[in-house]
Structure 1
Amino acid sequence: MSSEQTPFIAVEGPIGVGKTSLSNKIATHFYFHLLKEIVEENPFLGKFYDNIEEWSFQTEMFFLCNRFKQLEDIEKHYLNEGKPVVSDYHIMKNMIFAKRTLKPEQYKKYEQIFDILTTDLAKPNVMIYIHASLDTLLKRIEKRGREVEQNIQADYLQQLSDDYEAFMNHFEQQNPDIPVIRINGDEVDFIEHQSDLDDILTTIKEHINKGEVIS
């Protein structure tokens, strides 16, 4: 089985929407390797939420370098060996955040580095996009209680959510061969309701079977 055929699912959406929770459940159900993004280990993140303009470039570069290394390792040790993977992020999210937070001259440099690093990286063959209202996102952020996220401003989170929606619409247009499973986080609760989770898992299985990615 080539790396292109090996199931590689990416779960995306704005902060607090439940990406890691769903990725964990997918990994457990299908016996996939779980790739989790590095968040709290970023030494600049707390400073970033206090002063976005001052610390945005350092924060985004840390995330980019670490995610690049993670995906490089995943391709080598899992996908190329025919071992399925589910990730709680897609590396293209870096461009969503960078475009929102970096100054134009910083963004131009960042984009050049991003293009160089990601040109040959493995791409997911199924994308899951979870979206939710601002109220839902704020409640979930408060509930999980990450200290570095407590200073996130509501307007920044709303802008980020809008950016994700625009990005996913563009992603679908540019990648018609990669199915996107959209989940409304205001209406679907895959943590509290098993039936909601079962519906998602069934949809995932249909997509990866349709692509002859899994038997």
Structure 2
Amino acid sequence: MPPSSMTPPEDLNYVAVEGAIGAGTTTLTQLLSDHFGAESVLERFEENPFLERFYEDRDRWAFQTQLAFLASRFRQQKELSERDLFHDLVVSDYTFDKDRIFARQTLAGDELQLYESLFRLMEPTVPTPDLVVYLRSSPERLLENIAERDRPYERDMDPDYIAALHDAYNRYFYQYDRTPLLVVNVATIDFVENQADFRALARHIVAPSDERVRHVQPHASS
């Protein structure tokens, strides 16, 4: 897809796309990057040596998995902060806050306290997005997307875990106020196969707005 003639506003330099596992954050990030001729920043989840073991035994491997993700995400965010975010549009498929959402689902007690201490030390030094796009789906749609992409370690995904994660994301972004937020209902649209849905969503992302939080369901007619 060639770069779009739709020009993002000058104060929109860093967009982060968020959502639970299977929401389509990486896919949308890549589509937006192509559409706007922007640079994409994708989470390096495949570098986590504990991830497959976590899905096999979450209680045993949660702490190691979470610390590995925290270190990787922090390192990548520090690299991002060294780039010229004021001149080149960057689209990322996660925010640093994502790490805490997952940690609060998988850790407890002393492990969670230690994690929170490390997170609070790191958080002030990472860049803040100009806009967060939260892809709000449904547990059923998340599971469908996970099954369709067919990653080996996700084939036996626990539906209860996905439902709990879905609820945790909704709770987190219901009270989110760090940056402007665009909440997108993606349970009933298809921005991959339906170009009209994607273009409508792209228009909402770059549209100037004084609203701190916007809720959209970007069908082509919107």
- TM over 0.5: same fold? yes
Shift of 1:102: 0.6
Aligned-partner Cα distance in 2 for 1:207–1:120: 27
Q: Which letter maps to 1:185?
A: V
The aligned counterpart of 2:43 is 37
Whose helix fraction is larger, Structure 1's or Structure 2's? 1
Separation in 2 of the partners of 1:125 and 1:144?
30
Aligned-partner Cα distance in 2 for 1:134–1:141: 10
Deviation at 1:136, TM superposition (A): 0.9
Tell me which of the two structures has the higher relative contact order, counting C-alpha pairs closer than 8 angstroms and 6 or more residues apart: 1
1:104-131 deviation digits (Å, cap 9, x = unpaired): 2101100110111121211001010112
CA drift at 1:40: 2.1
Instruction: Give the aligned partner of residue 79 of structure 2.
Output: 73
Q: What's the Cα RMSD here?
A: 1.9
What TM-score results when the alignment is normalised by the length of structure 2? 0.86
CA 1:186/1:135 → structure 2, altered by over 3 Å: closer, same or farther?
A: same
The residue type equivalent to 1:184 in the other structure is: N
Residue 210 to residue 166, structure 1, CA distance change in 2 (3 Å) = closer
Alignment partner of 1:149 is 2:150: no
Aligned to 1:200: 201
Q: 1:5 to 1:205 in 2, by over 3 A?
A: closer
1:35-57 residue CA offsets vs partner (Å, 9 max, x unmatched): 00011221101110111111011
Instruction: Show the counterpart of 1:60.
Output: 66
SS in 2 for 1:27: helix
Q: Distance in 2 between matches of 1:32 and 1:189?
A: 22
- Is 1:9 the counterpart of 2:10? The answer is no
Query: Do the aligned residues in 2 keep the contact of 1:126 with 1:207 (CA within 8 Å)?
Result: no
Percent identical residues: 33
Pair 1:104–1:193, CA change in 2 (3 A)? same
Alignment equivalent of 1:23, drawn from 16, 24, 29: 29
Q: Which runs of 5+ in 1 are unaligned?
A: none
Residue 118 of structure 2 corresponds to residue 117 of structure 1: no
Where does structure 2 lack aligned partners over 5 or more consecutive residues?
A: 1-9, 213-222
Aligned pairs (5 A) from 1:96-135? 96-135=101-140
State how many pairs are aligned: 203
Q: Are 1:84 and 2:89 an aligned pair? A: yes
Which structure 1 residue ranges, 4+ long, deviate > 2 Å from structure 2?
207-211
1:159: which partner in 2?
164
Report the Cα offset of residue 152 of structure 1.
1.8
Paired amino acid for 1:138: L
Once the 2 structures are TM-superposed, how far is the Cα of residue 78 of structure 1 from its aligned partner? Answer: 3.4
Q: 1:25 to 1:181 in 2, by over 3 A?
A: same
- The SS at the match of 2:133 is strand
